[in-house]
Structure 1
Amino acid sequence: MLDRDNSRRLLMAHQTADSLESADIEQAISLLAEQKYFWQADNGRNHLTASCWILNPSLDAILLLHHRKLDRWLQPGGHIESCDNDWLGAALREAREETGIESFELLQEGIFDFDIHTIPARGNIPEHKHFDARFLLQAQQTDLSLSEESNDLQWFSPDKAASVIGGDPVMDRMLEKTRLYLTAGPSVKCV
């Protein structure tokens, strides 16, 4: 089960890139304080989620999937499950399930990006928000395995990724963070 105190520490340690991300972090800290089942997808309310911004082994392409239900290109990720002990573990599990990649290196300690986004109502599930922590990873392989949750899974150069997901300020922010990270030079940790 996801630890509330560890989640709060990760949020508070995150250096935000803009006022939108700062506001999202503040809302997430409030969610942790106010909601008992802050990580459970079946709680009928807003909840934490985990995802990965994945670069290829040569650090020149970004992995995106075309989400079947949302009909848009996104980074791999999803709901936290009871077996997940922490946010990064949940993000890695989701990345492995959705991409078929087994081995990653963590390129940046802590949260890479944080966003709150609205998920539309579907069936018996009402509209709700995902409070999503994203982690920056480097894949150790380029071979992919498409999951049932996606229509497509592809590596994109940063410029091509911008044309596929461009116009979304949060996705554009992650692309800019990627450019800044690569300019500064990576330091890796196996996960």
Structure 2
Amino acid sequence: MTTDTQTQPSSDPRYPVGRFHKPQTIDAVAIETGLKTLEELPRKLRNAVADLNDAQLATPYREGGWTVRQTVHHVADSHMNAYIRMKLALTEDAPVIRTYEEALWAELSDGKNAPLEWSLQLLEALHSRWVMMLRSLDDKQWQRTFVHPEHGPVSLQTGLLMYDWHSRHHLAHITSLRQAKGW
């Protein structure tokens, strides 16, 4: 794996695992590491929120940040979008994807109030299908792209590493909060 895919812990509570840095090259080890992260996230996220009460779920992971509940629902929203974007890239030629206002999504009723179990179950099923699909790709398919309106073309292998980082990033928001609060 290239060192660019490694992230360093950060003292900035917004980026507990550091910021995402797109590597110059992506090898088979980096892809396998990303797939393993996606495979393990549902279980790790479920463990991270286990036994939290409503007051704890309503606690922001940092000042001005989302609550634990909103963070879990955000991960489900974000990863559903990622899965669809990747399927579009596999079935269309460089589709231009839609962005979404993730901060506004987090403020909707389901983002603020839905039971965590709904998103935890959704992530278990979604990640099972997502990883199954990604594990079936050949080298040529990993190079397929979708086009982000602001960031340009994103290959599926880069997308995988982005969501590897995204998974670890939000998991660390919750686990860091638990550690800081002694929960």
TM-score by length of 2: 0.29
Greater strand proportion: 1
User: Which one has more relative contact order, counting CA pairs under 8 Å at least 6 apart?
Assistant: 2
Q: From the CA coordinates, give the structure whose radius of gyration is larger.
A: 2
Greater helix proportion: 2
